[in-house]
Structures are given as structure tokens and as C-alpha cells.
Chain A
């Protein structure tokens, strides 16, 4: 047996609007400072995987970097 809604179309529409409003009224995010907001934004940002792949290829085409100039000169002692 088909289950019919007890609400008339007007009530249904009103209910739908209410649900949409409720969805929009999610708890607001409040940040103490701009930096806090930027930190939140940074935490939700992911580096595209393509960067690492490209980097592996680019770095692989290069010779391995030489040790630091002071390391070559003083044999590993920090100047």
C-alpha cells in the first residue's frame, strides 16, 4: 500500500524551505584572527599529486647535488 504524506503541498513546500534554511544554518565557523582562518584554510588544502610526480621526473633528470661548499672545504665541519 502506498504511503501518503500527511502534509498538503503547501505544508510540504514550507517544510522543504525549513530544511534548506536549517542546512544553511550550520554552526558558523568563527575565528579569532585572520591567521587562524588561514591556518584552517591551509589545513584543508592538499598539494596536487601531480607536483610530486613532476618533481620526481625533473629531479631525476638532474645530477645529484654536490655537498655544501663548506662541507667540501672543511670536511663536514660547520663554519
Chain B
């Protein structure tokens, strides 16, 4: 049985080239993180689905460029961030914006969730997306990366081109800005999810 990719990171065998089954392990270990980043960064489930596909395909094609200096997760995030930025630049240059329909807010709840949980997840997802959309791209990306427990401040700093101290400083401001926007998006303040401020 194949050893999970995440546990082989850093070993020579894990670097440079993967067998199809190992690439499947790579996908299984990191696809949720990549999909979530693209979903909340782009704010559109369909675009996130396409972006996740494109990120992993790019990773598959550029496997020979992975040198093992970063973790697989960090490497994939770098591809995903560049891909999302390119997409946004292309849309902006063509003055095309995402449809303001229901789909913009949706995420895909786990299939085992109860109908009530699905509804709650959808509502919470809408509020989170609204709050994230109100942030600058820098703060949005920072919060999404810091939320991944597998990443250290050093890795977040490397991905966003700043020092770990700068990450910590900006994170404090990003949290506050997000909390304000999240509270504003709450239709029933006493009943819904909240963040301690």
C-alpha cells in the first residue's frame, strides 16, 4: 500500500516524479485545501472547480520543477495563488465580473450532512464569502492561508512575499476587518455564528 504523500515529503523518492497512484494520493491529501482556497478567493464554485482542476493538472505537468525545498502543500498553494491572480486579471481586463446569482455564494456541503446542516453551511458560507469579498486581496489571502493549520507563519510569509513578523502584524488587522464585515453580514445577530472580538 502506498505511503501517504504528506508523510513522504522531503524524502528523495517523493520528489520530482510520481506514479499515477502517488499523484492520486497527492490529490487526496491536498485537494480540499486547494479547492477551498480557490472557492473563497474567487467566490464562485464553478470557477473554483475549474481552477482546482487546472492547478493539479499544472502540478502534474510541472512535477519535474518541484525541488523539495517547499512542502507539496506550499508548492500547490503557490500554483493556485498564481492561477487565481491570473484569472482575476484576465477577468478585470475584459471587464467581466462573476454573476451575482445564487451560485456565487454556494459552497458544496459534505454529502453526509443533514438537510438542516446543509442549509446552515450554505448560509454560513454566504456570510463568510460576503465578509471575505469586502477585504483587500492581501487580507483575504492571508486569512485563508493562516487558516490552514499545516502552514507556518514562515510558509505563509514565503507565499505572500513578506516576513513572518509582517504576517503576524497584518493578520491582526485582517482578523479585525473580517470580524466587522462578518458581523455586518449577520441577518439575526443573536442566533447565528459569531466571532469573539
Q: Which residues of A contact B (CB under 8 A)?
A: 24-26, 28-39, 41-42, 44-48, 50-52, 54-55, 58-59, 62, 64-71, 76-79
Q: Tell me the nearest residue of chain A to B131, going by C-beta.
A: A34
> Is there contact, CB below 8 Å, between B53 and A44?
no
**Known contacts A34-B195, A45-B32, A50-B49; is-contact A67 B64 (Cβ 8 Å):** yes
Question: From residue 113 to 138 of chain B, which have CB atoms closer than 8 A to chain A?
Answer: 113, 117, 121, 124-125, 128
Which residue on B lies nearest to A69, using beta carbons? B64
Taking A24-B188, A46-B32 as known contacts, 18 extra A-B pairs with beta carbons closer than 8 A to each other, sorted by chain A number, are A37-B182, A44-B110, A44-B121, A45-B32, A45-B107, A46-B111, A47-B35, A51-B35, A51-B52, A55-B57, A59-B20, A59-B23, A65-B60, A66-B64, A67-B17, A68-B17, A71-B16, A76-B12
Query: B1-49: which residues lie under 8 A (CB-CB) from chain A?
Result: 12, 15-18, 20, 23, 27, 31-33, 35-36, 39-40, 45, 49
B81-89, B140-148, B160-168 - interface stretch: B140-148
Docked complex Cα distance between A32 and B148 (Å)? 15
- Take A30-B194, A31-B194, A41-B128 as given contacts and tell me if A68 and B67 are in contact as well, using a CB distance cutoff of 8 Å: yes
B80 at the interface (CB under 8 A from A): no
Q: How many residues from B make CB contacts under 8 Å with A? A: 60
**Given contacts A54-B53, A58-B57, A68-B17, A38 and B144 within 8 Å (CB-CB):** yes
* Given A44-B121, A48-B108, A78:B68 Cβ within 8 A: yes
Docked pose: A69 CA to B194 CA in angstroms: 50
Min CB distance, B48 to chain A, in Å?
Answer: 9
| A29→B108 CA distance, assembly (Å) | 20
How distant is the Cα of A42 from the Cα of B150 in the complex, in angstroms?
Answer: 13
Cβ of B61 within 8 Å of any chain A Cβ, yes or no, is: yes
Asked whether any CB of chain A lies closer than 8 Å to the CB of B193, the reply is: yes
In the assembly, what is the distance between CA of A24 and CA of B45, in Å?
27
User: Considering only CB atoms, which chain B residue lies closest to A53 in the complex?
Assistant: B53
Number of inter-chain CB pairs below 8 Å: 155
Query: In the complex the two chains form, what is the Cα distance from A30 to B129 in whole Å?
Result: 18
7 residue pairs of the A-B complex, CB under 8 angstroms, read A28-B191, A31-B195, A34-B178, A34-B179, A45-B107, A47-B108, A65-B63
Min Cβ gap B146→A in Å is: 5
With a cutoff of 8 Å between Cβ atoms, the chain A residues found around residue B102 in the complex are: none
A35, B36: Cα distance in complex, Å: 13
Cβ-neighbour of A71 out of B17, B35, B61, B196 (below 8 A): B17
Known: A33-B195, A52-B31. A39 touches B147 (CB 8 A): yes
